[in-house]
Structure 1
Amino acid sequence: MASDVDTAPLVGRVGTLATLRSALLDDVAPGQTAAVFLTGESGVGKTRLLTEVGERLRQAGALVLTGTCLDIGDASPLHPVRQALRRLDTDVAEARTTSAVRGLLQVFDEETPGPDGAGALLERVTQGLHLVAGGRPLVLVLDDLQWVDRSTRQLLLYLLAGLGDLQLSVLAAIRAESLRGAHPLRRVLTELRRLRSVRVIDLLPLDRAGTDELAAAIVGAPLPPEAADQMWQRSGGNPFVVEELARDRRDGRDGLSDTLREVFLDRVDALPQPAHAVVHAVAAGVEPVEHWLLAQVVKLPEDELLDAVREAVAHRLLVGADDGYRLRHRLVAEILAHELLPAERAALHRRYAEALTAAPAELHQARLAHHWRQAGEPARALPAAMAAAREAERLHGYAEAHRHWSAALTLAATPAPVPPDGGRPGPVEVDRAELLSHAAEAAHHSGEHARALTLLEELAVDPSGPPACALHIRRARYLAAAGRSAPAEEEYRRVLESADCTPRERCTAAARLAELLLHLGRYAEAGDQAREALDLAADVPGSTSEVVLASAALGFSEAFLGDQTAGLAVMRRALETAERSGRPEDVACAYLHLAELLTGPLNILEEGVVVARRGAERVAELGLGRTWETRLLAVATNGLFRVGQWAEAEKVVATALRHRPSGADAVELLLARCRLSVGYGDVEASNRDLEAVATVLAGGGARHVLPMLILRAGLAMWQGRHDLARQAVQRGLTESRSDDVIVLATLAWHGLRAEAEAAASRTVEVDPTAVRRLREVVERVTRKSEKAGAPVRYVADGFLALCDAELSRLDDGRGDPELWGRSATEWDRRNHPYPAAYSRLRQAEALLARRSRVATAGKLLRQAHAMAQSLGAVPLSAEIRTLAGRARVTLDDAPSPAPVPRPRTAPAAPAAPAAPAVDELAVLTAREREVLAAVAEGLTNKEIGQRLFISERTIGVHVSHIFDKLQVRTRVQATAIFLRNRPE
């Protein structure tokens, strides 16, 4: 199974190459011998590695002899050595070496080793190799050593024992599946392992990252996430299989290549009959196949079954573990599925189903449904599928529940087999409305919002479906989750205006509408709607979910519009209520609103990030990883972005993307990632994310329009397209119905900045109408923020300071240094390094334009440059360097960092974090560790003091000491160190 080395790159073997060079050349002293034996399954890349190592050793000055053993036993003595010498004779032009090689070949032609002459022949071969080497290091590279003839084996042992007094290194490759039973090499390798000069290395398949890299190199582009997952599952990381599958994909071939099919069929056909049956049985099963279950299916005596399994494992077709047996390559199952007759396949599945039925356990239901379905008995598969779906829901596995309910719908529509009496088969009896209802809700929870809406439409026309008001509420929920806010609002208002709806339905619609209005930034309306929902809930027993939703919306509204303390208290009580009820969506909603409030208008960023990440962990436990967890991680990403921890934000957003969210959840995450891309100056990635957001928002999604347009404007300005930035801002002013003064102030700043930079660059005429409209927005935000809570006003004032400074650029073409200095101070106080660095740039620019305080301008540019460099803000760094160059200001010589790469394909499964080399918490006292553990839970100083019976002031002192000892500045950084070092 050799790979096509002409086109396939060598992937994932850098460390092995270095190890081999060191063991075969660098660590071998004159007069010594060394050997490395590479073992591994067929196709793992042994031959390719031998070629690469041989070439590198030649370049290092060694004489390399390369030969291959043949699968013909002892019929060709010393064949690989003869082959290596003939190749050398053809390749070299040096007269002395050619003479020595031909002399040694003549020795082989004259003598054949016999019982008495073997020793003499070995001695003459050794002397001949001395002459061939000519004082150079000699490396003998042998492929397929599992077929080595007896004479070559004796020669290797003779040379490695040092009896030939020849400095020699041996590199040999052995197929691991061939070393079974009484193979002579098994004993030889066992003995050689004891020698310090001999190493046996088992060459493993590629890991997930290596598999993705190799496939992408052959196809010419990274594979889509689903294709990459399938490539990994089918190949098991075997390079040969990866190469074949990737070439098929690149060349547009469907199905499996004949090469792969024949290779694996040959390996299966080489098995004894019992092992053959075992492999077929495991291929038909759901992995892992437990030993007791396999015994019920193949019906072999225990001793014969164990021998058969050993054979399959030795042939590298099966892998055994404590939990059962698996195929080493899932590709084998695909190939063998076409080798059995339909009746044979059905019989295997029926034996599996009967065995699982006889061993009742809830966890068997999914497999039981699968096997009955494959056995052609939908009537027996349906109850198992429904039981599996309910079990998945109980364990909060909504993606699995959706799959099982969908299977149940298919089974319910499948005709039963023809009865023996020849009568007409009929469908399985089941309440289809119940199946549709469950399937739609599971699809919604698992993030398949479009599928949920489709199933709901089917349910709406079912005569036994739910009443109209209940359907309106569910459709609104699904529409909101899909990012279609406008039609969702219409559905909720339809329920509230209907005379036919029950008090509970009206209460539910009011609470959910309050939540929707909150997400749309209409905080005053959200508060009024939440109060109405709470009044309705007072008369509806068991309305815990509605109380949680309404309380979260009311708390957010109150904290935003005026009373921070009261609003936060309401939201924390809502979270406590949700945790007591245990309903996953309530818990998720409460965490999300609390995290959004802290990281947004209240600007309590460190605590907000901790709450968001803690909430993400909690909802992941509740099975809402693809939906609510991704939204909470998006909130954490935005908070980390604002405090300047962009590298950490990159890690968080990459983790969230592994869930492949959809609808509004995907939009939240894409917007968070796009903020980083714009800051980094990654234009291509930013445009991709913005296009994706625009596509999802085509069906609605007013909540996300302003953030999308703000990012479009920011990206356009870094590209010098001030006209496009103006269009984005003006569209936002036209379409906005948001009460969020922070978002409006941000939009106004981007608009004024676009006009000011257009004027400075003279590429686009300033639009007086646009400027007048932006001034009106600034005045409106100023008035509205005066009525908002102090934290909201505090954040809005920072953006208003930027607006005032940008207006000074428009008024006199130079800008007011004092206004820009005030803006820098405002953002320093808020711990937002990005706008602080931008403000320093503009302040220095204004000073230089006035030719005053040049030294101060230089200091400001150096400060701004250091801040931008630490973030990785490439466009901002470039603009600072340009201004510094014009002003002849010397900056630090550190190179500008490149944008941090973002994964655009399915990332590999996250590796377990490596434990730190030392305990970073060792510098803390026992009490400081207690305080840090509470900080990591997201508790405030007051809450920590209440828990530890210490005053809030003393807790503040402890936190300061912790920061000093750990050399961090924020609670988020301290929490990261704690989580990295806590005992498992």
Structure 2
Amino acid sequence: MASDVDSTPLVGRADQLTKLRSALLDDLGPGHTAAVFLTGESGVGKTRLLREVAVELRGAGALVLTGSCLDIGDASPLHPLLQALRRFDAELTAAQARTSSAVRGLLQVFTEGTPGPDGAGALLERVSRGLHVIAGGRPLVLVLDDLQWVDRSTRQLLLYLLAGLGDLHVSVLAAIRAESLQGAHPLRRVLTELRRLRSVQVLDLTPLDRAGTDRLAAAIVGAPLSAEAADQVWQRSGGNPFVVEELARDLRDGRDGLSDTLREIFLARVDALPEHAHAVVHAVAAGVEPVGHWLLGQVVRLPEDELIEAVRAAVAHRLLVGADDGYRLRHRLVAEVLPYELLPAERAALHRRYAEALTTAPAELHQARLAHHWRLAGEPARALPAAMAAAREAERLHGYAEAHRHWSAALQLVAAPTGGPPDADRPDRAVDRAELLEHAAEAAHHCGEHARALALLEELAGDAAGPPPCALHIRRARYLAAAGRSAPAEAEYRRALEAADCTPRERATAAAHLAELLLHLGRYADAGRRAREALELAAEVEGSTSEVVLASAALGFSEAYLEDPEAGLAVMRQALETAERSGRPEDVACAYLHLAELLTGPLNILEEGVVVARRGAERVAELGLGRTWETRLLAIATNGLFRVGQWAEAEKVVAAALRHRPSGADAVELLLARCRLSVGYGDIEASDRDLEAVATMLAGGGARHVLPMLILRAGLAMWEGRHDVARQAVQRGLTESRSDDVIVLATLAWHGLRAEAEAHASRTVAVDEQAVRRLREVVDRVRRKSEHAARPVRYIVDGFLVLCEAEVSRLDGRGDPELWARSAAEWDRRQHPYPAAYSRLRQAEALLARRSRVATAGKLLRQAHEMAQGLGAAPLSSEIRTLAGRARVALQERPGDPAPVRTRAAAAVVEPTVDELAVLTAREREVLAAVAEGLTNKEIGQRLFISERTIGVHVSHIFDKLQVRTRVQASAIFLRNRPD
């Protein structure tokens, strides 16, 4: 089963390659012998590794003879050595006549043989002397493949040589299929004897790990696999390189199903099993892994001793893996192959035995397994109650993806034919299909299957037993909002509030959810009014905790943005406490989300905001909302880390979040966060790909994400020199915007003015004076509106307004260095390195254009370059270098010093090689651990029984020792270095 394609990269075997070379050559003293026997299952890569080692050893000056054993017993004595000598002779040139003569002389020995009672010993001695002559003083290595088929003469020769009985000093490298060494195989006894020699090693070559599997598959396909495809290859192959290669080629060539090659190989391995082991593997393949020993015994119905022997044989043949919790197939492909080898009645009988065994063991009852086996046994009436029980069990444990799967299975079971006569007493007759649809839709919504949730809801709306119109409007609105379709969601909430059948609780629910939606759309005043209305309605309804949490979070955000940050934050923190007391997952997630958004956004309390977002992500993951709310919180953390310049850390966070494969608005949030990084890094292809994906997902609505998407589109277009495209994106944003978010509007205006200034500087596109006038009007409107916003909001807006004013000064072709100096100082105070570096670039450009203070301009360019390089901002770094080159400014303080280049790839893989926390005292480590949890100095002091002032001293010392400036940076170092 080894692959014959040497063009495939050797993955995950570097350590073994080094170890084998050392054992066979580097560590071998004069006059000594050595041997390494590689064992492993078929296809694990033994043959490929033998070839790679042979190439290494030849390159080091050794004489390497390679041969393979045949599966024909003793009919071909010394066949592998004979094959190796013939191959070697064919490779010799005319200049190597002496060696060729020695080889042919030894080949003649094989044809003559040696008669008499001592013939075997004499033959071995003659072979040893012949090999000694051929080696000519060089190290000699015999490389033998498929040693499990070795003939008796070759076994004797290996023992003779390795025991040092001849004059030859040789090394042996041989590969053995582990599953072939069963029972009384003669090679087992040989290996047992050889293991006693210190010069002999037996190494078991294990399958690749997950990372190696992904690398090998990607190399064959020619591109990284999607998360789903990579998971499938890993699960089906078990890391076996041959199987990985076959599956990857099928993916690359677009072939569906299982190849005939793999099918026949695995069938042959199963067919080679003893009878009872064959039955055991079939039973495990039909089961749900892990299959406990007691359960397997109930299904195969063998006496205990025979069952253990059968399992032992299946494990020895590398088809099963045993553990404390039961048995698993080593390769999931076996489960795909074996069912087709059984008759339908045989498969159904296996599943019925599983179901009956699980039913008779209440202590071990697992409803999901029971439903699975009854369904495949062809008894949907008995599978349905188990499927519903499994769904409820999953919901109780917050496993919404599993719950959705079970509810969907229950829906199929209700509609499934029984294959028998009608029975009025069947359990599924009394099941309400509308109830199943309702549960399935809600579970789909919770686990992020938004399109599926909406489809199920439409089916529910057409059911006569479905909920009334108001309840349907609220549900549809929630699902639409989660799918990123904000406009139709808002309309549905308003329909719910106007519905004649709307109850007081439903009215409170609709108002609270509408307040949250308006908040996301940036309509903060409207959100505050709706939130107050919702709280008034909720006060009249008993048990309306969820409505109170949702409305309080929206109200707190609105107040903090528009009026009083401290009061708004207090309301939001109270909402989080209420949510935690209620324990409802969506309430907790909502409270964390709005608090993190407020801190990292309008209030610009970035350190605390990032910590809250990451802590909230961990909390909601515990509550089963990993694919939805956790991904939203991680998107917020990513954006916060981007703004403070922690781009490498932000990239890790967004990559981890995308592994959940979110959909709808959750996916849009993460794609925008990743695109923001890609635009900063200058990865145009990745940015375009993400923006196209976002635009596609927003085709059905999603106003809240349109402005961020257009801002990124404009930023990317400017780095590409497409200033007209940037202008179009900004103008579209100004036309479509209904947001009260002055920060977003200020950002959009800056991008528009920057695009016009870039157009003027490049002279590739004429400045659009009408667009400039409109943008200046927007700047004035933002300035007026921000006067009524809370102080932290004004603080951020003022930074963008300074940028806008400075960009306008560029439109005369020179720029105002004082305005750019003010912008750099403003963004330094806000700890936003990217706009600070950009402002320094423009300040230097303005100074150089005026031919004044050239030394100051050089210093500014060096500062900007260092900041941009530290971020990995390739386009900004490139523009700085271009200006510095034109001005003949050296970007390093000392000529010849290398620039601190930090590419995106390098930033993404930075890992500590030492314990970065080693410089801290034990007490400082305790304090840092609490800081990483997001605790304030006061809270840390209460936990550690130290004054708040002392905690402040400890934090200062930690910052100095770790050479960081913020709590976010210190927390990142702690999380990187903490023990698992």
Give the TM-score of the pair, scaled to structure 2.
0.96
| Structure 1 position 583 matched with structure 2 position 584 | yes
Maintained 8 Å contact 1:828/1:836: yes
Question: Are residues 238 and 482 of structure 1, via their aligned partners in 2, closer, same or farther at CA, if it must alter by over 3 Å?
Answer: same
- The equivalent residue for 2:204 is 202
Larger CA deviation: 407-416 vs 152-161: 152-161
Matched position secondary structure for 2:904 = coil
Question: 1:804: Cα distance to partner?
Answer: 1.0
Closer, same or farther: CA 746–112 of 1 in aligned 2, 3 Å: farther
Q: What is the rounded CA distance, in whole Å, between the counterparts of 1:538 and 1:420 in structure 2?
A: 52
2:436 alignment counterpart = 435
- Residue 625 of structure 1, CA deviation: 0.2
Aligned counterparts of 1:921 and 1:240: Cα–Cα separation in 2: 44
- The corresponding residue for 2:373 is 371
The size of the alignment, in residue pairs, is 973
2:972 is paired with a residue of what secondary structure? helix
Task: After TM superposition, give the deviation of residue 901 of structure 1 in Å.
Answer: 8.2
Aligned pair partner of 2:409 in 404, 407, 410: 407
Listed one character per residue, the Cα deviations across residues 385-415 of structure 1 (whole Å, up to 9, x for unaligned) are 0000000000000000000000000000112
- 2:751 maps to 750
Q: Tell me if the contact between 2:638 and 2:654 (Cα under 8 Å) persists in the aligned partners.
A: yes
Which residue identity lines up with residue 872 of structure 2 in the other structure? Answer: G
Residues 915/869 of structure 1: CA separation in 2 closer, same or farther (3 Å cut): closer
Runs of 5+ consecutive residues of structure 1 not aligned to the other structure: 904-909
Structure 2 equivalent of residue 271 of structure 1: 273
Task: Give unmatched runs, 5+ long, in structure 2.
Answer: 893-897
SS in 1 for 2:66: strand
Work out the CA distance in 1 between the residues paired with 2:734 and 2:153.
87
Letter in 2 for 1:725: A
Name the counterpart of 1:973: 969
Q: Distance in 2 between matches of 1:219 and 1:982?
A: 36
C-alpha deviations, 1:52-81, integer Å up to 9, x for none?
221222222221100111112222221111
Alignment of structure 1 residues 832-871 onto 2, 5 Å: 832-871=832-871
Which residue of structure 2 aligns with residue 906 of structure 1? none
**Aligned 1:377-388 pairs, distance under 5 A:** 377-388=379-390
Q: Where does 1:237-316 land on structure 2 (aligned, <5 Å)? A: 237-316=239-318
Partner residue, 1:78: 78
Q: Which residue of 2 aligns with 1:900?
A: 905
Residues 298 and 574 (structure 1 numbering): CA distance in 2 closer, same or farther, change over 3 Å? same
Tell me if the contact between 1:72 and 1:147 (Cα under 8 Å) persists in the aligned partners.
Answer: yes
Distance 1:279 1:949 in 2: 60
Query: Shift in Å at residue 890 of structure 1?
Result: 0.7
Paired residues of 2:358 and 2:365 also in contact (CA < 8 A):
no
CA distance 1:901–1:463, shift in 2 (3 Å)? farther
Larger CA deviation: 153-162 vs 368-377: 153-162
In the alignment, the residues of structure 1 paired with residue 364 and residue 596 of structure 2 have an alpha-carbon distance, to the nearest angstrom, of: 37
* Identity score, percent: 85
Structure 2: distance between partners of 1:113 and 1:36? 33
The letter of the residue matching 1:43 is: G
Structure 1 residue 155: Cα displacement:
1.5
In the TM superposition, what are the counterparts of 1:586-665 in structure 2 within 5 Å?
586-665=587-666
The alpha carbon displacement at 1:259 in A equals: 1.8
Aligned to 2:145: 143
Q: Is the 8 A contact 1:872 1:898 kept in 2?
A: yes
- Name the CA shift for 1:475/1:115 in 2 (closer, same or farther; >3 Å): farther
Task: Assess, with a 3 A threshold, how the Cα gap between structure 1 residues 955 and 666 changes in structure 2: closer, same or farther.
Answer: same
Alignment correspondent of 1:355: 357
| Match of residue 963 from structure 1 | 959
**Cα distance change on mapping 1:862 and 1:301 into 2, 3 Å:** same
Matched residue, 2:895? none
C-alpha contact 1:514 1:529 (8 A) present in aligned 2: yes
Select 2:418's aligned residue among 416, 428, 434: 416
Aligned-pair distance for 1:420?
9.8
> 1:262 Cα deviation (Å)?
1.5
- 8 Å contact 1:279–1:318 — kept in the other structure? yes
Give the Cα separation in 2 of the matches to 1:678 and 1:407: 43
Query: What does residue 22 of structure 2 align with?
Result: 22
- The whole-number CA distance in structure 2 between the counterparts of 1:983 and 1:858 is 45
Could you say what secondary structure the match of 1:338 adopts? helix
Q: CA contact under 8 A between 1:113 and 1:121: conserved in structure 2?
A: no
3-state SS in 1 of match to 2:184: coil
Q: Distance in 2 between matches of 1:837 and 1:99?
A: 75
Shift of 1:20: 1.9
Q: Supply the distance in 2 between the matched residues of 1:139 and 1:112 (Cα, whole angstroms).
A: 25
Q: Please identify, of 676-685 and 456-465, the stretch whose mean Cα deviation from structure 2 is larger.
A: 456-465
Superposed CA deviations along residues 486-545 of structure 1, whole A, max 9, x for unmatched, are 010011111222333111000001100110011111111111111111111111110100
1:939 aligns with 2:935: yes
2:803 maps to 1:813 = no
> Which residue identity does 1:701 align to in structure 2?
G
Per-residue deviation at 1:223? 3.0
**1:883: which partner in 2?**
883
Report the CA distance between 1:981 and its aligned residue: 4.6
Correspondence for 2:194: 192
**Alpha-carbon shift at residue 967 of structure 1 (Å):** 2.6
Secondary structure of the 2:39 match is: strand
Rounded Cα–Cα distance in structure 2 between residues aligned with 1:566 and 1:696: 37
Give the stretch that moved more between structures: 888-897 or 742-751.
888-897
Distance, in Å, in 1 between the alignment partners of 2:383 and 2:491 is: 41
Distance, in Å, in 2 between the alignment partners of 1:521 and 1:608 is 19
Measure how far apart 1:182 and its partner are: 2.1
**Matches of 1:279 and 1:244, distance apart in 2:** 23
Distance apart, 1:858 and its partner CA:
0.4
Counterpart contact for 2:142–2:173, Cα < 8 Å? yes
CA deviations over 1:873-926 (Å, ceiling 9, x no partner): 0000000000000000011332644333899xxxxxx9xx99975482562242
Secondary structure of the corresponding residue to residue 788 of structure 1:
coil
Shift of 1:229: 1.8
Q: Secondary structure in 1 aligned to 2:73? A: coil
SS state at 1:603 partner: coil
Alpha-carbon distance, 1:179 to partner: 1.6
SS across alignment from 2:75? coil
Aligned 8 A contact 1:921 1:978 in 2: no
Match of 1:234 in 2: 236
Q: CA RMSD in A?
A: 2.1
- Number of the residue aligned with 2:920: 923
Give the secondary structure class of the aligned counterpart of 1:900.
helix
SS at match of 2:174: strand
Distance of 2:183 and 2:804 partners within structure 1: 81
SS of residue in 2 equivalent to 1:920: helix
Instruction: Give the structure-1-normalised TM-score.
Output: 0.96
CA positional deviation for 1:34 = 1.8
Cα distance, 1:481 vs. partner? 0.1
- Letter aligned with residue 927 of structure 2: V
Q: Deviations over 1:279-320 (max 9, x none)?
A: 110011011100000000000000000000001111111111
Q: Which amino acid in 2 is paired with 1:343?
A: A
Partner of 1:907: none
Give, in whole Å, the separation in 2 of the partners of 1:630 and 1:901. 25
State the Cα deviation string for residues 306-348 of structure 1 (Å, max 9, x = none).
0000011111111111111111111111111100000000000
Q: Distance in 2 between matches of 1:99 and 1:925?
A: 74
| CA 503–748 in structure 1, closer or farther in 2 if over 3 Å, else same | same
Shift of 1:951: 4.5
Distance 2:280 2:481 in 1: 51
Cα deviation, 1:540-578, whole Å, max 9, x if unaligned, reads 110100000011011111111121111111110000000
CA 424–470 in structure 1, closer or farther in 2 if over 3 Å, else same: closer
Q: Is the CA contact 1:113–1:151 (under 8 Å) kept in the aligned structure 2?
A: no
Stretch deviating more after TM superposition (6-15 or 379-388): 6-15
Query: In the superposition, relative to structure 1, how do residues 333 and 215 fare at CA in structure 2: closer, same or farther (>3 Å)?
Result: same
